Structure 1
Amino acid sequence: MPQMAPISWLSLFIVFSIVLLIFSSMNYYNFTVTPPSTHVKQIHQTPMNWKW
């Protein structure tokens, strides 16, 4: 049964680590920024009268 050389395991580890870092950074920086709205929202409050 042939075995892989340690340098190939190291190169595979480095390649997959770099791919993981690139993929994670792309996911982290890939978002859309929504500007804050200029109008103020009115909060609708319903009065609750508890009848005990």
Structure 2
Amino acid sequence: MPQMSPLSWWMLFMYFFVALIMFAIMNYYIFFYPPQKSSLSSINSKSLLWKW
């Protein structure tokens, strides 16, 4: 049935597109990056106080 061929290609495209999106989402959430120490805590707090 050649009439069903475009529908078959569309379903195949959608299958791989959804698989690609799911793979990208899983790769985004699977990595855990440890939080970096903020450089603000290393600054002396007395230097931040302004003397008017």
So what's the TM-score if we normalise by structure 1?
0.53
Q: How many residues align?
A: 44
Structure 1 runs, 4 residues or longer, greater than 2 Å off: none
Q: Is the aligned partner of 1:6 residue 2:7? A: yes
What CA RMSD, in Å, does the superposition of the two structures yield over aligned residues?
Answer: 2.8
Structure 2: segments with no counterpart, 5+ residues: 36-52
The percentage of counterpart residues that share the same residue type is 13
Which whole-Å CA distance do the structure 1 matches of 2:19 and 2:7 have between them?
A: 18
So what's the TM-score if we normalise by structure 2?
0.53
Structure 1: segments with no counterpart, 5+ residues: 35-52
Structure (1 or 2) with the greater helix fraction? 2
Bigger CA radius of gyration? 1
Which whole-Å CA distance do the structure 2 matches of 1:18 and 1:11 have between them?
A: 11
